[in-house]
Amino acid sequence: MHNSDKYTIRPIARIRSDYNEKFGVPRQSGLVTELEQAVVIEPEFSNTDALRGLEEFTYIWLIWGFSENAVDMEAAPVKWSPTVRPPRLGGKVRKGVWATRSPYRPNSLGLSSVRLKRIETDGELRLIVTGADLVNGTPVYDIKPYIAYSDSHPDAAGGFTDKTPFARLEVTIPEELLGRIDQDKQDGLIQMLELDPRGAYEKQPGYIYGLSFSKWDIRFRVDGDQLTVVDIISADDAGDEKAK
């Protein structure tokens, strides 16, 4: 193996978000626009000079790692498959892994375009963004500016995604339950639930699902295209229930 064929990359930042687990995370970036997340720069790279001029851009690219299901090609090569079953196709049709954005990839790298709201420097260096589709704690390996004249392709074909409908659920949350959520996170929660958090094989009408969101556990059911939140409890109380 040539020396340039293998190298190690290390995180320059980590995501701080309200998505505590993979269940419920949007399957693409930019779909939930009402939740703020923080890209917290690691102490080793915490130098404002590295971000000089970034505030002039509206969007940025994040290159990150699927840390919850990373594949070590030397230790466990059998985990990688050349084909996957995209949720957009109901998990029933196989496509080539490089024709999808599946997390189960040889190098387990993700790419997200997020909106840069502001840069904060009080105590730690962090970028406040919206539209991220990353679990809390996800490692970020690089940050690049989004450049519209080269990165945007309005006439681009979208492959199988052009042929499958993108539908949102109608979400109902009783006022007394919604009031338990911090006001600045309510719209983001609704947007997230509209995307249908359930996996392709988990769609059981009437079943009560539990979703960890920020400091709450969201209980909901789905009937047809209607999602109804039936309870919202604190994460601490949810943990006590599981321990019983």
What is the tens place of the pLDDT at every residue in 149-185? Answer: 999 999 999 998 888 777 899 999 999 999 999 999 9
Q: Among 160, 176, 211, which residue terminates a domain?
A: 160
pTM given for the model? 0.88
Together in a domain, 175 and 147: no
Together in a domain, 16 and 136: yes
Together in a domain, 58 and 151: yes
Together in a domain, 86 and 132: yes
Would you say residue 66 has pLDDT above 70?
Answer: yes
Whichever domain contains 148, its CATH number is 2.40.30.70
The whole-number pLDDT of residue 73 equals: 42
Looking at the DSSP assignment, which residues form a beta bridge with residue 164? none
The whole-number pLDDT of residue 89 equals: 82
Would you say residue 244 has pLDDT above 60?
Answer: no
Q: Among 127, 143, 160, which residue terminates a domain?
A: 160
Q: Is the dihedral of CA 68, 71, 72, 77 positive or negative?
A: positive
Q: Residue 72 and residue 55: Cα distance in Å, rounded? A: 36
Together in a domain, 23 and 124: yes
* Lowest-confidence region among 145-149, 164-168, 224-228: 164-168
The whole-number pLDDT of residue 4 equals: 63
Residue 154 CB neighbour total at 10 angstroms: 4
Which domain covers residue 53, as residue numbers? Answer: 3-160
Domain count, the chain: 2
Together in a domain, 106 and 131: yes
The whole-number pLDDT of residue 70 equals: 52
Would you say residue 240 has pLDDT above 80?
Answer: no
Contact 232/217 with Cβ under 8 angstroms? yes
The whole-number pLDDT of residue 1 equals: 47
Q: Which residue has the tokens 């019983």?
A: 244
Give per-residue pLDDT as tens, 38-64: 999 999 999 999 999 999 999 999 999
Whichever domain contains 215, its CATH number is 3.30.2310.20
The whole-number pLDDT of residue 77 equals: 47
Mean pLDDT score of the chain: 89
Together in a domain, 100 and 155: yes
Q: Is the dihedral of CA 228, 230, 235, 240 positive or negative?
A: negative
Together in a domain, 177 and 91: no
Q: Among 142, 160, 178, which residue terminates a domain?
A: 160
Give the pLDDT band (50/70/90) at residue 97: very high
Together in a domain, 120 and 216: no
Q: Residue 64 and residue 221: Cα distance in Å, rounded? A: 32
